[in-house]
Structure 1
Amino acid sequence: MGKAGQALKQVLESYNISQSQLATGLGVERPIVFRWYHEKIDPTAESVAEIVKVLNKINKSAANDFIQAYLGKLTLFKNQLINQDLPLSGQVNVTVLAQIFKDTTNSYKYLYFLSLLDILKRRKFDTLSPISFREIIVEMLANAWYPHKYFKLSFGTQDQIANKLDTLELEITEPILKFRDTDKKLLRNTINNQNIEDTINSINRYVSYRLIRPFFTQETRGLKDYDVNPTIINLANNQFNSKKPLYCFNAEDQKNCNAIILHPDWIQYLEQHYTIVRGWAYWEWLNYMQERNPSTPNVVNKLFMPQGRDSLVHQTQYWKTILQYQDIECIYSKIKLDKDEISLDHYLPWSFVAHDQLWNLIPTTTSVNSSKSNNLPSEKYLQNFIRLQHLGLTIYKQNVTQKKWFNDIESFVADLKVNQAEDLLNLEILFNAYEKTIQPLICLATMQGFSPNWIYA
Structure 2
Amino acid sequence: MNLPYSDKLPVFKLAASFGNTSATYKFYWFLAILELVEEGQTTIPKRHLFARMIGNAWYTVNYFHVSFGKQDFIQQAVQSILEQEQMTIDTKKSLLLSILENSELKATQQTLYHFNKNVPHWFLSPWFSKVAGENDVAYRKRIYTSSQVFENDCLYSLYDDHIVINPNWVDYLKANAKILKDFIYWNLTLFLQTRNPNVPDIANKLILPPFRGSLTNQRKNYWDVVFEELGTVDCIFTNTALTIDRYALDHFIPHAFVSHDLIWNLVPIDTSFNFRKSDKLPIMETHFDGFFNLQKTAFEIINDHRPKSKLLEEYLTIYPDLINSNSFDYTKYKENIQPLVTIAHNNGFGYLY
- Residues 293/216 of structure 1: CA separation in 2 closer, same or farther (3 Å cut): same
Partners in 2 of 1:292 and 1:347 — Cα distance? 25
Match of 1:287 among 190, 197, 202: 190
SS of 1:344 mapped into structure 2 = strand
- Unmatched 5+ residue regions in structure 1? 1-83, 251-256
Give the aligned partner of residue 201 of structure 2. 298
- Residues 229/421 of structure 1: CA separation in 2 closer, same or farther (3 Å cut): farther
Matched, 1:264 2:170: no
Match of 1:445 among 329, 335, 344: 344
Match of 1:214 among 126, 148, 157: 126
Match of 1:192 among 95, 98, 101: 101
Give the aligned partner of residue 242 of structure 2. 337
Matched, 1:432 2:326: no
SS of 1:261 mapped into structure 2 = strand
Residues 397-444 of structure 1, C-alpha deviations (whole Å, 9 max, x = no match): 2222x322xx22112122x2453232xx238x5311221111111111
Partners in 1 of 2:64 and 2:270 — Cα distance? 24
Matched, 1:387 2:293: yes
Match of 2:48 among 135, 138, 144: 135
Normalising by structure 1, report the TM-score: 0.72
Residues 112-132 of structure 1, C-alpha deviations (whole Å, 9 max, x = no match): 0011111122x2x3x34x211
Match of 1:162 among 62, 75, 92: 75
SS of 1:98 mapped into structure 2 = helix
Normalising by structure 2, report the TM-score: 0.92
* Superposition CA RMSD, Å: 1.8
Give the aligned partner of residue 140 of structure 2. 229
Amino acid at match of 1:246: L
Partners in 2 of 1:399 and 1:192 — Cα distance? 58
Amino acid at match of 2:322: Q
Matched, 1:369 2:271: no
Tell which deviates more after alignment, 162-171 or 336-345: 162-171
- Alpha carbons 2:254, 2:281 under 8 Å: kept: yes
- Alpha carbons 1:409, 1:421 under 8 Å: kept: no
Partners in 1 of 2:132 and 2:293 — Cα distance? 64
1:144 is displaced (CA, Å) by: 0.7
1:157 is displaced (CA, Å) by: 2.3
Partners in 2 of 1:158 and 1:330 — Cα distance? 43
- Unmatched 5+ residue regions in structure 2? none
Where in structure 1 do 4 or more consecutive aligned residues deviate above 6 Å? none
Partners in 2 of 1:188 and 1:137 — Cα distance? 10
SS of 2:345 mapped into structure 1 = helix
- Alpha carbons 2:50, 2:113 under 8 Å: kept: no
- Alpha carbons 2:247, 2:270 under 8 Å: kept: yes
Give the aligned partner of residue 150 of structure 1. 63
- Alpha carbons 2:250, 2:268 under 8 Å: kept: yes
1:91 is displaced (CA, Å) by: 3.0
Match of 1:247 among 148, 156, 161: 156
Match of 1:307 among 194, 201, 210: 210
Identity %: 31
Question: May I ask how many residue pairs the two structures share in their alignment?
Answer: 345
